[in-house]
Amino acid sequence: MSSTATPIYFNGKFYAGGMNGVHRVSDRLIREVDALLAAMPPERRPPARLLIPARRQWQPALRAIELVEQADGDTQRWEQLVLPARAADGVLVNLANLAPIRHCRKILLIHDAQFLFPDSSYPWRQRVGYRLLVPRMARSSAAVLTVSAYSRQMLDLLGVVDRRMTEVLHNGVDHILDGESDRDALARLGLTVGRYVLLFGSPKAYKNNHVVFEAFADGALAPLQLVVVGADRAALDAAGLTPPTDAVFVGRCDDATLRALYMDAHAQVFPSRTEGFGLPPLEAMLCGCPAIVAPAGAIPEMCRDAVLYADVDDPAGWRQAIAALADPVVRSAKRAAGHDRAAAYRWDSAGRQLLDVIERVARDGPYRHARLRACGVGARPKRSRRDPPAPALCRARRAARAGGDLGPALPSWPLAGSSLAGGECGARGRFLLLSQWLCAVGSVSRDA
């Protein structure tokens, strides 16, 4: 292992939460980077560590990245006030929307801008916390990534971070092919090949399930059945939705079952009003299932002309699109185009791109955004005199670790690991803790 290479640290706080879309993407990216590091000669490989909570629900199997347990690694206090010191000598990679503000050589992946939308279905405390924190996290990062050009544009237009300070890192889709499909799934669920339409059920308003439910109302698409993955009937009823009486609810599925459902479905429908990426239709397309989607969010960017489109508020349009796939010519064309389109999104490519960004940040340091702001790009709000520039924080953090003088430029609030344990966190520390408490509510269980 190289003794002079800049260390890489991965923020593994999300492993304290359950599996959802954001967490699954973050975990897969870490595992892809791990595979690339493992393939390097030991003398060229930078030291890499995953800082993972001692109280975690799951963890990855890694070869080159060392797992380092953190006693309070599942807390907001640890992320904002301890993690910056633990990763002070290296590049800190944050892949699940949140990062410590006080680390100047960090990478932040923001998956979408849903927290800024009124129908985002985020709890209000989490929404307020994200709105307070994420712009500060982004503007203090050496690199900001997001998963689509649409999300990049939304983050810019809504004032989170200038689009010229971000870059797109597409998700992969090929995980759905990692294992064999469960060929007994249809028999177990009482389904017939080609006689059902697949929908990911969600009570969230922006997922727009109701337009598909209306399309299937009163047996309008019989003998086709609607198969709902994820949310159960009770959860949808509680949200004021009315699923068809003959809908089949299959709950959460593993990839083997989901692949089988994709392969034998008449179609997969995806009516969301907004998405940062739009993974389900791409998974379906890679499995040979034609998709019908809403022309909203990043979905057209990802799917292009490989799918059929139906308006977000037009049940008749969804019925027509579903019926159109009964035509063998249309169906064959969309299956072929869909597979070709989805095959372009690979996890190994995403991992390679992420490692390239890590290496660039390690090489260039934390000053890229400072140079951009000097050219008028993404200017930050005027600082208080109590807020030192990021390089000063870095110098102070290094001095604190070495036991040196912190210098007169520091504010009164301490660095992580100093007198904070005694409760002397100051106004800035209290702001960070309050903001993180707000966005913590529901954050570990959000279904992205």
CA–CA dist 383, 406 (Å, integer): 20
Lowest mean pLDDT of 45-49, 55-59, 412-416, name the range: 412-416
Q: Do 216 and 318 fall within a single domain?
A: yes
What letter would DSSP give residue 178?
Answer: S
Q: Do 310 and 410 fall within a single domain?
A: no
CATH number at residue 41: 3.40.50.2000
CA–CA dist 441, 283 (Å, integer): 30
Exposed e or buried b per residue across 4-43, where buried means at least 16 C-beta atoms within 10 angstroms of its C-beta: ebbbbbbbbbbbbbeebbbbebbbbbbbbbbbbbeeeeee
263 assigned to some structural domain: yes
296 assigned to some structural domain: yes
| 64's tokens | 């080159």
Q: Which residues contact 295 (CB under 8 A, 6 or more apart)?
A: 309, 311, 312
307: containing domain? 177-342
pLDDT tens column, 346-379 = 999 999 999 999 999 999 876 555 545 544 555 4
Q: Is 159 left (phi over 0), alpha (psi -120 to 50) or beta?
A: left
CA–CA dist 66, 49 (Å, integer): 5
Exposed e or buried b per residue across 399-428, where buried means at least 16 C-beta atoms within 10 angstroms of its C-beta: ebeeeeeeeeebbebbbbbeebeeeebeeb
Nearest-5° Cα angle at 123, 270 to 96: 70
200 assigned to some structural domain: yes
Q: Do 121 and 236 fall within a single domain?
A: no
The per-residue pLDDT of the chain, averaged, comes to 85
Q: Do 338 and 355 fall within a single domain?
A: no
Q: Do 99 and 202 fall within a single domain?
A: no
Q: Do 324 and 390 fall within a single domain?
A: no
- Residue 120, pLDDT score: 66
60 assigned to some structural domain: yes
Q: Do 216 and 321 fall within a single domain?
A: yes
- Residue 447, pLDDT score: 41
pLDDT tens column, 9-27 = 999 999 999 888 899 999 9
Could you tell me the CA-to-CA distances from 89 to 19, 47, 92, 98, 321 in Å, in that order? 30, 11, 9, 20, 55
Q: Is 194 left (phi over 0), alpha (psi -120 to 50) or beta?
A: left
Q: Do 15 and 163 fall within a single domain?
A: yes
Lowest mean pLDDT of 130-139, 224-233, 265-274, name the range: 130-139
CA–CA dist 16, 62 (Å, integer): 17
CA–CA dist 338, 6 (Å, integer): 41
The residue assigned the tokens 């892949």 is: 95
| 196's tokens | 């059902």
1 assigned to some structural domain: no
Q: Do 80 and 218 fall within a single domain?
A: no
148 assigned to some structural domain: yes
What letter would DSSP give residue 273?
Answer: S
- pLDDT band at 434, cuts 50/70/90? low
pLDDT tens column, 223-268 = 999 999 999 999 999 999 999 999 999 999 999 999 999 999 999 9
- Residue 124, pLDDT score: 79
Among candidates 97, 99, 67, 94, which has minimal Cα distance to 80? 99
- pLDDT band at 129, cuts 50/70/90? confident
Secondary structure, 3-state, 47-84:
CEEEEEECCCCCCCCCCCCEEEEECCCCCHHHHHHHHH
Among candidates 244, 22, 256, 231, which has minimal Cα distance to 126? 22
Q: Which residues contact 341 (CB under 8 A, 6 or more apart)?
A: 282, 285, 303, 304, 306
Which value, in Å, is the radius of gyration of the alpha carbons in the chain?
Answer: 23
- pLDDT band at 128, cuts 50/70/90? confident
Q: Is 426 helix (H, G, I), strand (E, B) or coil?
A: helix
| 406's tokens | 């912190």
- DSSP letters along 205-255, please? GGG-HHHHHHHHGGGTTTT-EEEEEES-HHHHHHTT----TT-EEEES--H
Q: Do 110 and 197 fall within a single domain?
A: no
**Which of 414 and 278 is assigned the larger pLDDT?**
278
342, 360, 379: which is the final residue of a domain? 342
Cβ atoms 49, 66 nearer than 8 A: yes
Q: Domain count for the chain, please give it.
A: 2
**Mean pLDDT across 368-394:** 48
CA–CA dist 173, 168 (Å, integer): 16
327, 342, 357: which is the final residue of a domain? 342
Q: Do 126 and 224 fall within a single domain?
A: no
Q: Do 385 and 417 fall within a single domain?
A: yes
Among candidates 133, 126, 149, 440, which has minimal Cα distance to 275? 149
Start-to-end Cα distance in the chain: 37
Dihedral of CA atoms 36, 42, 47, 48 in degrees, nearest 10, equals 30
Cβ atoms 144, 161 nearer than 8 A: yes
By DSSP bridging, strand 196-201 and strand 267-270 are parallel
285 assigned to some structural domain: yes
2 assigned to some structural domain: no
- In this prediction the pTM is 0.82
CA–CA dist 208, 270 (Å, integer): 9
The pLDDT of residue 143 is above 70: yes
What is the CB-side half-sphere exposure of residue 429 using CA atoms within 13 A? 20
Q: Please, what's the largest Cα pairwise distance for the chain?
A: 76
Could you tell me the CA-to-CA distances from 128 to 111, 122, 132, 135, 161 in Å, in that order? 17, 9, 6, 12, 17
Q: Which residues contact 86 (CB under 8 A, 6 or more apart)?
A: 9, 51, 70
